[in-house]
Amino acid sequence: GAPAQDYKKYEVVLLVGLGIGATPMISIVKDIVNNIRAKEQAQLNRMEHGTSDPQQRNKKESFRTRRAYFYWVTREQGSFDWFKNIMNEVAERDTNRVIELHNYCTSVYEEGDARSALIHMLQSLNHAKNGVDIVSGTRVMSHFAKPNWRNVYKRIAMDHPNTKVGVFYCGAPALTKELRHLALDFTHKTSTRFSFHKENF
């Protein structure tokens, strides 16, 4: 959709996909990776040849994103399968670690549950040893239960003061209100400016 193209004007973006709502967000994530690679290639060309293609320069200037946070929330662990290849591809291509990827599986156990703690311990060991998360089967760490959205916004606000952050959400309407409210709340309370966009698919 058209609003998704708006992400390019933000230096920092927070992408939230709920269930199948991850699909348009994945497109943005891939686009960010491709744009960053193109930008790096253009810089290399300039260094090697001392010239730059004006068309590339304009494209680079219209693409401002330098950090992205992607939160994907799903109920079923099995949903990770269709997502796995994309996540690994992004993790491999994102050499500068521009994109931070989070998977939340809400149907496992609550975060403080003893069973959850055991899974988390095994998960951490496996991730440290093999670089792969045992729950999602990707290089991206999975979390259990729902994200604490206030903490997500707070961390971004602390890490990116005086920055405009584009928040893009695609998913059930229930979360729209909370994410929009937090965007306004943190815009008023911090130097970070959050701009909320709802994606429809």
Residue 128 lies in a domain: no
Closest CA relative to residue 135, chosen from 195, 200, 81: 81
13 contacts 65 by C-beta, under 8 angstroms: yes
Residue 9 lies in a domain: yes
Residue 184 lies in a domain: no
- Tens digit of each residue's pLDDT (9 = 90 or more) over 124-143: 555 556 655 545 555 566 67
Q: What percent of the chain has pLDDT over 70?
A: 69
Cβ-based neighbour number of residue 34 at 10 Å: 12
Residues ≥6 apart with Cβ < 8 Å to 4? 24, 27, 28, 168, 199
Residue 123 lies in a domain: no
Enclosing domain of residue 60? 2-70+81-103+145-177+190-198
Residue 53 lies in a domain: yes
End-to-end CA distance of the chain: give it in Å, rounded. 8
Phi and psi based region of residue 71 (left: phi greater than 0; alpha: psi -120 to 50; beta: remaining): beta
Residue 125 lies in a domain: no
Does the predicted model carry a pTM greater than 0.85? no
Crossing angle of helices 174-189 and 149-159, rounded to 10°:
30
Domains: count for the chain = 1
Any idea what the CATH number is for the domain that residue 31 is in? 3.40.50.80
Residue 120 lies in a domain: no
Region 139-164: mean pLDDT is 87
Map residue 140 onto helix, strand or coil: coil
- Tens digit of each residue's pLDDT (9 = 90 or more) over 21-58: 888 888 899 899 888 888 888 888 888 887 655 555 55
Candidate ranges 76-80, 88-92, 168-172; pick with highest mean pLDDT: 168-172
Residue 136 lies in a domain: no
Closest CA relative to residue 56, chosen from 42, 66, 36, 70: 42
